[in-house]
Chain A
Amino acid sequence: MSLGSVPLRYKVDIDREQCMRCMRCVDNCSYGAFRNEEGKLIVNSRKCTACHRCISMCPRDAISLKDRPVDYRAHPLWTSEAREDIINQSRTGKIVLAGMGNAKDFPSIFDRLVLDACQVTNPSIDPLREPMELKTHIGKKPSRLEFEETVDGDIKVLNEIAPNLELQTPIMIGHMSYGAISLNAQRSIAQAVAKVGTFMGTGEGGLHESIYPYQDNTIVQVASGRFGVDINYLERGAAIEIKIGQGAKPGIGGHLPGEKVCSDISCTRMIPYGSDAISPAPHHDIYSIEDLAQLVRGLKEATEWKKPVFVKVAAVHNVAAIAAGIARSKADAVVIDGFRGGTGAAPKVFRDNVGIPIEAAIASVDKKLNEQGIRNEISIIASGGIRNSADIAKSIALGADAVYIGTAALIAMGCRVCGNCYRGLCPWGIATQREDLVDRLDIDSGAQQVANLINAWTYELSELMGAAGINSIESLRGNRERLRAYMLDEGMLNVLQVKPVGA
């Protein structure tokens, strides 16, 4: 092979003095980076993915890991990544696949925004003693109310208000299908959302029987492959979400490789065993905005207008106009997924180059809907790269009603963001269907950890709101006055409608 091998991506070192040859690393590494040769621990660093499973399981802290131990000649343009992709593609002639969200060094807008707090002119609120309301309603609201006074002098609302989802906290867990993640991971999430009073998405993987007890906290997804979709599925969900696109790979479909389609997945998705589960790029009954409106109505008609219907789109250049079109349909919420949104597998060229950041997308959608006077008629759910409660507070202040988290919930179950989900060997039992690996994820502990995370962020949100003198989440929504931008350019300030610090 004229190309030879590329340098090691990671170098695993064993502190031989510390190591007691318990071989837990050998047992835990599903990628085969360790082996036990007659009591001797042998390391093959080339197989390492930096998933940290071995490190977290080593009783002696004897394992250390180095990222890119071999330097290339430094060059600002021809990074080692650029060089290695070329070597890979000249070897294979194929599209490069990568996992997790956008890994390019784009500056984070969240990190250039700061939140506000009260001093003197208005009091901050102590959320431990004073009421603090984070309850959020997702769904369609009429633009105005019509009243009628009854004979007994009561005032009756004449509007029929469409069903809304009631969230105890504006944090939901986004759509990760059974198939993309393991059933144990999905069950952990389901238990967690039921416990904290919020919702999870099923992804396009159908609804497994073991999730039925949590179906009232479940948003079922209808994507282009229509996997697992029948009338029973639609009726089980608390809401239905039409997935048009995803932030990690806007404009393209997805597919679950046949080797991941085990009998249980085949049953849940209602597809043949071992066959690829292909979601086409578009829905082939949606080629235009009025077709989307038709599918929204179709889903509502099938479920007798009892279910809220969400529409999820990737944050792309024209997202504001697209969301405005969605808002004109009977849809109850628009979900916007920013370009840092995670995924099991995406072509790297898409993951790193297509789409726009969620911060700009939220602000421009909120602005467009406000300009058109229809903002409060539809809810905005933001997702894609939300890492902490500050990101949530900033998202809401930019105009979101609630957020979906994805990667963060996986991290709460053990994921270390190694980005090798597409290989199906996740040693944490999350992005895999291999039974021995899946068994590593204990459902009850997984659920507790995810619930802990949501609870912790909810506390932090109430503290942030209290400090800003706000005791009800409605007053934070779209409230750019409580945001300032630090070192963002004027164009971006205009998009966000946020003033610079000091202004």
Chain B
Amino acid sequence: MCGIFSVIDRNMTRMDGSSIKAALSSMDERGSGEGAGYVAYGIYPDFPDCYALHIFFDNIVDHKSKVDELLSKWGVIIHQEEIPTYEQPSLKRQHIPWRYFFKPYKDLMVGSLTPEEDIIIKTVMDINSGIDGALVFSSGKNMGVFKAAGWPEDVANFYRIEDYRGYIWLAHNRYPTNTPGWWGGAHPFNLLNWSVVHNGEITSYGTNRQYVESNGYKCTMHTDTEVVAYLFDYLGRRHKLTEELIVKALAPPFWDEIDSMPLSKSELNRAIRLIYGPALMNGPFGIVVAQSDGIVGFTDRIKLRPLVVGDDGTKLYISSEEAAIRRVDPNIGEIYMPKAGEPVIGRVVK
């Protein structure tokens, strides 16, 4: 399903969302007007150490107090407010988007090396699977997801996306089959600082889901893409795999290629396939994953979805179509299509 667009400014210069909106809207043909979304990093400089929890409430009266209560148990709410939105004639408001800036009490999570993150994950999973009428769709630091059911331009105008300035942007235009009109089903999907946009379908979803769920994640979004966020968190944060290695686990080389590699490389790849076999993703996909220090884009092993990269040294773009990149940067220097399963990585220079 869908079209994707992403950009990182390696110098962490922040860009406002207007060009991202223009780029994504130029790929309207790839969507159906039933889901679009944006994520930006670096948008909350006033709360850099807080987890920004973006939540869809069905209404404030019935559901919000339960979330307040749960959050107050596990930490402190530094600030909260309704996310500003602006009515659009062709976008039906189904939820009230709200944001909390939240600091967990890390001493409450014992036996964990990453207690803060584990509290956030637990809280997100508890709210999404346990509190009706509330859905956390963004939970990282100094970043946030903005999404809804609608065309890219309407969703952007609804959140007035040009008011946000980020050094990384991911954007997604959805063509749903399963949960049209459901705001939670729009991309990007996020957990902690991981955000994912995805074009395609993950035919190994049943296997991947078992794997992440047996390791403490709960799939609540009724769609295949959320497992990618959990796989990145699980392999990256808990198993300490680098992005390159995560991509090797998710879209590994074929066995005949592994067999013909030099010994040390073939041993590494063989070990990854054996140990992380349940993380292997099958089916057509073009995916971009963001973290606060960079983005990584990759496709499935036999290149069933398009992905185009534009690079001018400072900015790196990854998109479904070249036209979207040129919409933003008509004279971009280098444009190419990455090889199947090969990660394209853009990191901030610190």
Quick check: do A and B touch in the complex, using CB within 8 A?
Answer: yes
Residues of A within 8 A of B (CB): 287-290, 293-294, 297, 321-322, 324-325, 328-329, 372
Q: Give the distance in Å from the alpha carbon of A287 to the alpha carbon of B29 in the complex.
A: 15
Complex CA–CA separation, A151 to B97 (angstroms): 48
CB of B180 within 8 A of CB of A290, answer no
B177 at the binding interface (Cβ < 8 Å):
yes
B34 adjacent to chain A (CB < 8 Å): yes
A325 x B200 contact (CB < 8 A): no
A328 to B177, CA, bound (A): 8
Nearest first, the 3 closest Cβ-Cβ pairs linking A and B are A325-B177, A287-B304, A321-B177
B-side contacts of A329, CB under 8 Å: 32
Q: List 22 A-B contacts (CB under 8 A).
A: A287-B200, A287-B305, A288-B1, A288-B199, A288-B284, A289-B1, A289-B175, A290-B3, A290-B31, A290-B175, A290-B199, A293-B29, A321-B177, A324-B178, A324-B180, A325-B1, A325-B177, A328-B32, A328-B176, A328-B177, A328-B180, A372-B181
CA distance A288 to B175 in the complex (A): 10
Contacts of A328 in B (CB 8 A): 32, 34, 175-177, 180
Q: Is the interface of B mostly helix, strand, loop or mixed?
A: loop
Return chain B residues, CB-CB under 8 Å to A287.
Answer: 200, 284, 304-305
Interface string of B1-45 (1 = CB under 8 A from A): 111000000000000000000000000011110100000000000
A215 nearest CB across to chain B (Å): 31
CB distance A288 to B180 under 8 Å?
no
Chain B interface size band reads 20 to 34
Alpha-carbon separation in the docked complex, A52 to B64 (Å): 74
Q: A290 — which chain B residues lie within 8 A by C-beta?
A: 1-3, 29-31, 175, 199
Residues in B whose Cβ lies below 8 Å from that of A372 = 180-181
A288 to B201, CA, bound (A): 8
- A188, B160: Cα distance in complex, Å: 62
CB within 8 Å of A: which B170-194 residues: 175-178, 180-181
Q: Inside 8 A of B304's CB, which chain A residues have their CB?
A: 287-288
The chain B residue sitting closest to A325, CB to CB, is: B177
Residues on A with C-beta less than 8 A from B29 are 290, 293-294, 297
- Please give the distance in Å from A266's CB to the nearest CB on chain B: 31
- Shortest CB–CB separation between residue A254 and chain B, in angstroms? 21
Chain B residues with Cβ below 8 Å from A297 are: 29
Residues of A within 8 A of B305 (CB): 287-288
Q: Chain B 149-182 against A: per-residue CB contact (8 Å), 1 yes, 0 no?
A: 0000000000000000000000000011110110
Task: Give every chain B residue within 8 A of A325 (Cβ-Cβ).
Answer: 1, 175-177
- Distance, CA A368 to CA B305, complexed state (A): 27
The A-contacting residues of B in range 191-221, CB under 8 angstroms, are 199-201
Q: When chains A and B are docked, how far (Å) is the Cα of A321 from the Cα of B176?
A: 9
Residues of A within 8 Å of B176, CB to CB, are: 325, 328
A289 in contact with B177 given A294-B29, A328-B32, A328-B34 (CB within 8 Å): yes
Q: A293-B175, A324-B178 are in contact. List 20 more A-B contacts (CB 8 A).
A: A287-B304, A288-B2, A288-B200, A288-B201, A288-B304, A288-B305, A289-B177, A293-B29, A321-B177, A321-B178, A322-B177, A324-B177, A324-B180, A325-B1, A325-B175, A328-B32, A328-B34, A328-B175, A328-B176, A328-B180
Closest to A329 in B: B32
- The distance from the CB of B318 to the nearest CB of chain A, in whole angstroms, is 17
Which residue on A lies nearest to B27, using beta carbons? Answer: A290
Residue of A nearest to B3 (CB): A290
Rounded to whole angstroms, the CA-CA distance of A294 and B1 in the bound complex is 12
Complex CA distance for A181 and B284, rounded to whole angstroms: 35
Among B29, B175, B201, residue most surrounded by chain A Cβ atoms (within 10 Å): B175
In the complex, what residue of chain B is closest to A323 when comparing beta carbons? B177
Chain A residue nearest in CB terms to B33: A328
Cβ of A288: which chain B residues have Cβ within 8 Å of it? Answer: 1-2, 199-201, 284, 304-305
Contact with A along B29-65 (1 / 0, CB 8 A): 1111010000000000000000000000000000000
CA distance A329 to B31 in the complex (A): 10
A324 to B182, CA, bound (A): 14
Which chain B residues border A324 with CB–CB below 8 Å?
177-178, 180
A319 shortest CB reach to chain B, Å = 11
- Determine how close the nearest CB of chain B comes to the CB of A114; give it in whole angstroms: 33
- Separation in Å of the B105 CB from the closest CB of chain A? 42
A289 CB contacts on chain B under 8 angstroms: 1, 175, 177
A288 to B29, CA, bound (A): 13
Q: Give chain A residues whose Cβ lies under 8 Å from the Cβ of B180.
A: 324, 328, 372
Interface centre among B32, B34, B284 (most CB of A within 10 A): B32
Interface members, chain B 275-327 (any A CB < 8 Å): 284, 304-305
Cα(A365)–Cα(B198), bound, Å = 26
User: In the complex, which residues of chain B have a beta carbon less than 8 angstroms from the beta carbon of A321?
Assistant: 177-178
- When chains A and B are docked, how far (Å) is the Cα of A324 from the Cα of B179? 10
Residues of A within 8 A of B2 (CB): 288, 290
Most chain B CB within a 10 A radius of its CB, from A287, A324, A328? A287
A322 cross-chain contacts in B, Cβ below 8 A: 177
Residue of B nearest to A322 (CB): B177
Residues of A contacting B34 in the complex (Cβ-Cβ under 8 angstroms): 328
Nearest CB in chain B: distance from A50 CB, A? 40
Task: For B29, give the chain A residue with the smallest CB separation.
Answer: A294
Instruction: Report the separation of the CA atoms of residues A324 and B181 in the bound assembly, to the nearest whole angstrom.
Output: 12
Minimal beta-carbon separation of B169 from chain A (angstroms) = 21
How many angstroms from the CA of A289 to the CA of B181 in the assembled complex? Answer: 17
Shortest Cβ distance from residue B77 to the other chain A in the assembled complex, whole angstroms: 37
Q: Looking at the assembled complex, report how far the CB atom of B305 sits from the nearest CB atom of chain A, in whole angstroms.
A: 6
